[in-house]
Amino acid sequence: MSEQRQRVVSGMRPTGQLHLGHLVGALQNWKRLQERYDCFFMVADYHALMSEYERPQQIHTWSYENVLDWLACGIDPQRSVIFRQSDVPEHTELFALLSIVTPLGWVERVPTYKEQLREIEGRDLTTYGFLGYPVLQAADILLYKAQAVPVGEDQLPHVELTREIVRRVHFLFKREIFPEPSALLTESPRLSGTDGRKMSKSYGNTINLSEAPEKIRAIVEKMFTDPARIKMTDPGHPDTCNVCGYWGTFAPSAAARAHDECRRSIRGCVQNKRELSEVIVQATEPFRQIRAKIGGSYDEIEGMLQAGAEKARSVARHTITEVKAAFGLIGQ
Ligand code: TRP
């Protein structure tokens, strides 16, 4: 990896199978970032545990499953460091150190915190650890001295908190250790779920990346369409139709024609869905193939994650030593 390149850190929580929303909202962006940045892509298993600690059995396998999808999408372990957060103990070490200097008021007022406490049902999130969620995220970012953090809009307060923590550390210890990271907002063309709401596992409206073709066809067949179009002879409204929106994302070169035919009532919703499901089947082919190739053995992935953790640690160790010196724990 070259010295001049800026660093990027991002992570995903292994809490389930990845779906088309992850592809459009994050993975395609990660793939592009590899061209210009030194990237660290992390399976955020500690972060997953913070909400799933009552049922943690699947975190380990979801980690492998998610990484398989990353690889199938073109995240390349030769170019980027792919690792699991819990394999690099420096994450929790830096988390502890940053916790010491982070004022309680700063974490209590993070909007995602209050929102999740209110909205997530069936989980007890009133734990000491969960309050520290964004501080652990700050540790993830600062451990690698990342300049840029690709995130969705919902994560902006966490990047902002990270910047505040940087300034506080520099002020308290009278030295500059970290760059202030910027958020690289994914201008994700919002992909709606099969019911028109945001695609999300908790709404049960997803199409998973590794879904079987027959299942994809069955799901697409049941998708919500333009409610203002009742008969095929009614003109369609592709700009607001849930199904039509997918054309622009998955087959941009065919989108204009499909939309035009829909508007002129030449294309009915049944045909539209049938053709779209083939487009999605084709776009998700690599995700099924990688599973067929691995054949259920995660050994290769584990080996790759171990190699990634080694690379990550070689950077992380250096930062931790610097931070411990600044905090006065070890000699200069
Ligand atoms: N909190 C992020 C999310 O839910 C995941 C994450 C963990 C992350 N650590 C990170 C993202 C560091 C960017 C940088 O999406």
Q: Which domains does the chain have, with CATH numbers?
A: 7-191+297-326 (3.40.50.620), 212-283 (1.10.240.10)
Mean pLDDT across 19-24: 95
- Per cent of the chain over pLDDT 70 is 98
pLDDT band for 3, please (50, 70, 90 cuts). low
Asked if 77 and 307 touch (Cβ cutoff 8 Å), the reply is yes
Instruction: Average the pLDDT over 268-275 and give the result.
Output: 94
Q: pTM for this one? A: 0.94
Q: What percent of the chain shows pLDDT beyond 90?
A: 84
| Mean per-residue pLDDT, 301-323 | 98
Residues 6+ positions from 205 with CB-CB distance below 8 Å: 193, 194, 195, 197, 199
pLDDT above 90 for 72:
yes
Distance CA 238, CA 244 (A): 5
Least confident of 76-90, 237-251, 276-290: 237-251
Indicate the top mutation candidate among 151, 153, 163, 182 to test ligand 1's pocket, ranked by most ligand atoms within 8 A of CB: 151
Pick the residue whose CA is nearest to atom 13 on ligand 1: 10
Measuring from atom 14 of ligand 1, which residue has the nearest CA? 10
Is the CB–ligand 1 distance for residue 39 below 6 Å?
A: no
155 ligand 1 Cβ < 6 A: yes
The closest alpha carbon to 42, from 1, 6, 75, belongs to: 75
User: Residue 92: is its pLDDT beyond 80?
Assistant: yes
CA dihedral (151, 155, 160, 161) positive or negative: negative
Model confidence band, residue 189 (pLDDT cutoffs 50, 70, 90) = low
Segment 235-245, tens digit of pLDDT = 999 998 989 99
Cα(11) to ligand 1 centroid in Å equals 4
3 state DSSP class of 40: strand
Between helix 299-326 and helix 59-73 the angle, nearest 10°, is: 100
Mutate to test the pocket of ligand 1, among 18, 45, 140 (most ligand atoms within 8 A of CB): 140
How many whole angstroms from 44 Cα to the centroid of ligand 1?
7
What is the rounded average pLDDT of the residues 180-196?
A: 87
Tokens linked to 117? 């406490």
What lies within 8 Å, CB to CB, of 171 at 6+ separation is none
Residue nearest to atom 15 of ligand 1 (CA): 12
Residue predicted with more confidence, 189 or 235: 235
3 state DSSP class of 11? strand
Mean pLDDT of the chain: 94
* Dihedral pair phi/psi, residue 11, rounded to 5°: -150, 160
- Residue 99, classed as helix, strand or coil, is helix
